[in-house]
A and B are shown apart, each in its own frame.
Chain A
Amino acid sequence: MIGATPGSAGVQTYGRGLEGLVAGETAISAIDGVRGHLLVRGHPLEQLVQRSFEEVSHLVLFGALPDADRLRRWSAELERFSEPPAPALAALQRVPGTAHPLALYRTMLTVAACIAPSVEQESDPAWSRPARILSWSASLAAAAIRHLAGQAPVPAASAPPGHAQRFLFQTLGRLPSPEEARAFEVSLVVQVEHGLHAAALAALTVISTGADLGSAVLAGMGALSGIRHGGANQLAFEMLAHLPDVDSARRFAREALARHQRIPGFGHRVYKCPDPRVALLEPHAVALLRARGLEQRHEVYRALRDEVERALGPRGIFANVDSITGLVYHPLGLPPSAFPIPFCLAIQTGWMAHCLEYLPHGAMIEPGAVYVGPVN
């Protein structure tokens, strides 16, 4: 999938939407879109799902899994920023609860950015800035989700340790079960990094102007909020939620296929094989659904997937990660409009890593266009 061109310089052939263009080199991840492997800093994703978000975020950002001492310090750094600035939480009172949770969350982050210290004010910005962004984001996202139901934010002070557990506690207002916490953490780990997708490119374009890391993350979130990107998991789940049983799922799939309709959660620009993240999440989704008596949802999902993949698999279209994350987040009690949020909380780790990798040598990003309009 990467093509024969060495490096990114030189003559390249690519399609619409920069398809096939090698935009640069990275040491962060490799996607094998033919065999369905994701390699993060040399570690196969299958091995990383055994680990905590703290360990994996450290790996992605700093290039290596942490030893015990680094892990303790990184966890403490994440915890240090778990209480976001008060004005950012107060901003919720100035926006309607009918807004999309991603828009609420974005607004709180833009307010928090007005208060964050500048790089010059920090002793070790490469260490503390990513931690602040990850932790403020998680607490503010939890508050945004609660705001939808008219509930007040839950302070981080009483939360259990661990980034994933803390977010669930602050979102749900209760201690998650060990299965819930594990499933959610796995969902963060599998979505922690995914190459130069549209959101990562948006983040890189912003960092290339010399802007700050938080600004780059905001741009990435913008791309991710789109229904073609992170918003796809919400659409995929809403489609499933309308299907009462296996028969209607099969019928729906056949009709949609006959009409050549785009089916949310299927197809990927890079994977032309089953997305490896689906298989890693599926057992956790099944466990959570079963614990809530919702196994039916999984059967409906399987029926839809089988039908779509049987028809489109030969053309390289398979279920992607967005097809299944909703089956983890729904039994946890998150509303569908909030499903893009955990994706965002996870993958901003990868965007920041790409930004930090780009910064030392990166030229300002400015592609060209071919003018096809009038000339007077």
Chain B
Amino acid sequence: MTDLATPSVLGTLGDSFAWQADALQWPVTTQVGPGLAGVIACTTAVSWIDPSSGLLMYRGVPIERLAGAVTFEEVVRLLITGQIEGDAAHTTQSRLRDGRRLPADVVHLVRSLDAQTHPTLLLRAGVSALGCHELSGDDELSGERHWRELRIVGQVAALVAEVGQHRRSRPPLAVDPTTSLAQGMLQALTDGEPDAEDVALLDLLWVLYADHGLDAPTFTSMIVASCLADPYYNVVAGLSALRGPRLGGATEQVLAQMLPLADEARARQWVGQAVEAGERVAGFGHRVYRMADPRAVVLRRELALAARRHGCPELFAVARAMEQEASRLLAPRGIHVNINFYAAPLFHLLGIEPAMVPCLYAVGRMAGLVARVQEALAQGRLYRPVSRYVGPGLDGATP
């Protein structure tokens, strides 16, 4: 077991996610930085990033082995139960899919609001209203059953589809239990029947977005869960954090920079000028990785394939040229490509408008969120740090 009582050990490992151990003895001593960087908030068995190799593992399985090999529905099961196969696999699938049946009142409520409202706001209102239908004041508030039953993941997916339909002034979709979450989503958000490769691509994007440590939406949900709030309150709180431009808005910024660039030469030139001018290249930089985000590496290959399939290979050429130039200039400063850089053009190829992407990210992240909320409930400790008072003083009071 790693010696966790020694600050120097943890201090040198530095960033979030970086630790692995057989067990943890509380209290712990660590180096603490801004934004709670370096703070150990909990133990987890959901996912881990090996700081030495940059390997991201869900329940011990590297994402490269999951990519393309399993569906999102299977990853939901893996993250939440630790297993993909097993007797309950079919039950998991039908719970996820059946969750998509929404009460008519909830659909009416979402549709009564202006379709041009930001989709994450409509989604949040829908989730909140759904909670009023799912739980009564007499229920056990922590709603552990609701987490266990996974319906909530299917419900969020259905609401996202509904928001997409509303934005396109189309009637509510009937739920077909034989369609997967990914297929149903593309039916709602795009025109025509989606082909199997596009469905597989959305599954892959969701698989890669499914969990990534204690980022702000996930940590918010864990704090709320630790107070034993109801599951829908957890999701409302998580979605509130996802609204922030530092998270949900990334895709829009990537596309705004990438799409106007006509060819590789222009892409290199633009990146060079942007870096020179001290501007941010969207889709670069990450709190955790000191190397390319392994999820971006998986998606780079997917973009090459999907761009050719969709008849626009130049999109990949431009993206690749931007990445190479930005990496050349920024890698020496420790800034590397992240998942959003390649996810953004892939969502674009799928025909999904940028404003809807944060909602799709939310569907993927529901898997990790449910898994981590279950851990927070099991660990059963309210999150309550303290702060140091630096305001006006008074004799006899604590400064």
Partners in one complex: yes
Q: Which residues of A contact B (CB under 8 A)?
A: 1-3, 6-32, 35, 37, 39, 41-44, 87, 90-91, 94-96, 98-104, 106-107, 110-111, 113-115, 148, 195-199, 201-202, 205-206, 208-212, 215-216, 218-219, 221-231, 269-270, 337, 362-376
Interchain CB contact under 8 A, A111 and B125: yes
Complex-state Cα separation, A208 to B219, whole angstroms: 12
Contact of A27 among B35, B36, B391, B394 (CB under 8 A): B391
B169 within 8 A of A: no
Interchain CB contact under 8 A, A14 and B223: no
Interchain CB contact under 8 A, B223 and A205: yes
**What residues of chain B lie closer than 8 Å to A269, measured between beta carbons?**
382, 384
Complex-state Cα separation, A219 to B133, whole angstroms: 20
Interchain CB contact under 8 A, A195 and B41: no
Q: Report B344 CB to chain A, min CB distance, Å.
A: 18
**What residues of chain B lie closer than 8 Å to A337, measured between beta carbons?**
137
**What residues of chain A lie closer than 8 Å to B121, measured between beta carbons?**
110, 113-114
**What residues of chain A lie closer than 8 Å to B394, measured between beta carbons?**
39, 42-44
**What residues of chain A lie closer than 8 Å to B382, measured between beta carbons?**
17, 198, 228-229, 269
Contact of B39 among A21, A199, A229 (CB under 8 A): A21
Closest 10 A/B residue pairs (Cβ): A209-B244, A226-B227, A373-B45, A42-B392, A363-B35, A368-B16, A27-B391, A30-B389, A371-B48, A17-B381
Known: A106-B233, A208-B35. A11 touches B29 (CB 8 A): yes
Interchain CB contact under 8 A, B388 and A2: yes
Name the residue of chain B whose CB is nearest to the CB of A362: B35
B40 within 8 A of A: yes
B234 within 8 A of A: yes
Complex-state Cα separation, A58 to B106, whole angstroms: 37
B174 within 8 A of A: no
Interchain CB contact under 8 A, B40 and A226: no
Contact of B36 among A23, A115, A374 (CB under 8 A): A23
Known: A198-B226, A201-B383, A373-B59. A110 touches B246 (CB 8 A): no
Interchain CB contact under 8 A, A96 and B43: no
**What residues of chain A lie closer than 8 Å to B141, measured between beta carbons?**
100, 225-227, 231
Interchain CB contact under 8 A, A99 and B132: yes
**What residues of chain B lie closer than 8 Å to A110, measured between beta carbons?**
121, 124-125, 127-129, 236
Interchain CB contact under 8 A, A226 and B142: yes
**What residues of chain B lie closer than 8 Å to A100, measured between beta carbons?**
135-137, 141, 230
Complex-state Cα separation, A212 to B244, whole angstroms: 7
Which B residues between 86 and 107 are near A, CB-CB below 8 angstroms? 105-106
* 7 A-B interface contacts by CB (under 8 A): A96-B132, A99-B135, A99-B136, A219-B241, A229-B229, A363-B34, A370-B24
Complex-state Cα separation, A27 to B392, whole angstroms: 7
B206 within 8 A of A: no
B108 within 8 A of A: yes
Complex-state Cα separation, A30 to B71, whole angstroms: 50
Complex-state Cα separation, A25 to B389, whole angstroms: 6
Complex-state Cα separation, A100 to B231, whole angstroms: 13
Interchain CB contact under 8 A, A107 and B240: no
Interchain CB contact under 8 A, A106 and B228: no
Q: Which residues of B contact A (CB under 8 A)?
A: 4, 7, 11, 15-24, 26-48, 57, 59-62, 82, 105-106, 108-109, 112-114, 117, 121-122, 124-125, 127-129, 131-133, 135-138, 141-142, 213-217, 219-220, 223-230, 232-234, 236-237, 240-247, 287, 379, 381-394, 396-399
Complex-state Cα separation, A31 to B243, whole angstroms: 32
Contact of A10 among B31, B245, B287 (CB under 8 A): B31
Interchain CB contact under 8 A, B40 and A370: yes
Q: Report B204 CB to chain A, min CB distance, Å.
A: 20
**What residues of chain B lie closer than 8 Å to A216, measured between beta carbons?**
240
Chain A CB count within 10 A is highest, among B59, B61, B128, B396, for B128
Interchain CB contact under 8 A, A25 and B230: no
Contact of A206 among B125, B127, B142, B240 (CB under 8 A): B240
Interchain CB contact under 8 A, A26 and B388: yes
Contact of A376 among B7, B61, B229, B386 (CB under 8 A): B61
Name the residue of chain A whose CB is nearest to the CB of B62: A376
Query: Could you tell me the dominant secondary structure of chain A's interface residues?
Result: mixed
Q: Report A257 CB to chain B, min CB distance, Å.
A: 21
**What residues of chain A lie closer than 8 Å to B18, measured between beta carbons?**
368
Name the residue of chain A whose CB is nearest to the CB of B392: A42
Name the residue of chain B whose CB is nearest to the CB of A224: B227
Complex-state Cα separation, A219 to B382, whole angstroms: 15
Complex-state Cα separation, A205 to B244, whole angstroms: 10
Interchain CB contact under 8 A, A16 and B26: yes
Interchain CB contact under 8 A, A376 and B32: no
Interchain CB contact under 8 A, B229 and A111: no
Complex-state Cα separation, A83 to B329, whole angstroms: 54
Q: Report B84 CB to chain A, min CB distance, Å.
A: 12
Interchain CB contact under 8 A, B226 and A17: yes
Chain A CB count within 10 A is highest, among B82, B245, B385, for B385
Q: Report B142 CB to chain A, min CB distance, Å.
A: 7
Complex-state Cα separation, A124 to B392, whole angstroms: 26
Interchain CB contact under 8 A, A370 and B216: no
Q: Report A117 CB to chain B, min CB distance, Å.
A: 12
Known: A100-B135, A101-B137. A209 touches B246 (CB 8 A): yes
Taking A19-B27, A32-B398, A366-B213 as known contacts, 20 extra A-B pairs with beta carbons closer than 8 A to each other, sorted by chain A number, are A1-B398, A2-B386, A6-B388, A9-B33, A13-B27, A31-B386, A39-B398, A91-B125, A94-B105, A95-B129, A100-B141, A110-B128, A148-B137, A199-B227, A206-B216, A269-B382, A367-B39, A368-B17, A370-B24, A376-B57
Q: Report A278 CB to chain B, min CB distance, Å.
A: 19
Known: A41-B391, A222-B233, A224-B227. A368 touches B213 (CB 8 A): yes
Contact of B241 among A18, A211, A228 (CB under 8 A): A211
Contact of B381 among A11, A16, A212, A231 (CB under 8 A): A16
Interchain CB contact under 8 A, A94 and B106: yes
Q: Report B94 CB to chain A, min CB distance, Å.
A: 26
**What residues of chain A lie closer than 8 Å to B4, measured between beta carbons?**
370
Complex-state Cα separation, A106 to B141, whole angstroms: 15
Name the residue of chain A whose CB is nearest to the CB of B65: A376
Interchain CB contact under 8 A, B220 and A202: yes
**What residues of chain B lie closer than 8 Å to A219, measured between beta carbons?**
220, 224, 236-237, 240-241
Contact of B383 among A18, A363, A374, A376 (CB under 8 A): A18
Complex-state Cα separation, A163 to B58, whole angstroms: 50
Complex-state Cα separation, A154 to B234, whole angstroms: 30
Name the residue of chain B whose CB is nearest to the CB of A30: B389
Q: Report A354 CB to chain B, min CB distance, Å.
A: 8
Complex-state Cα separation, A269 to B389, whole angstroms: 17
Complex-state Cα separation, A364 to B385, whole angstroms: 17
Complex-state Cα separation, A365 to B213, whole angstroms: 12
**What residues of chain B lie closer than 8 Å to A106, measured between beta carbons?**
128, 131, 233, 236
Interchain CB contact under 8 A, B44 and A369: yes
Complex-state Cα separation, A366 to B15, whole angstroms: 10
Interchain CB contact under 8 A, B386 and A1: yes
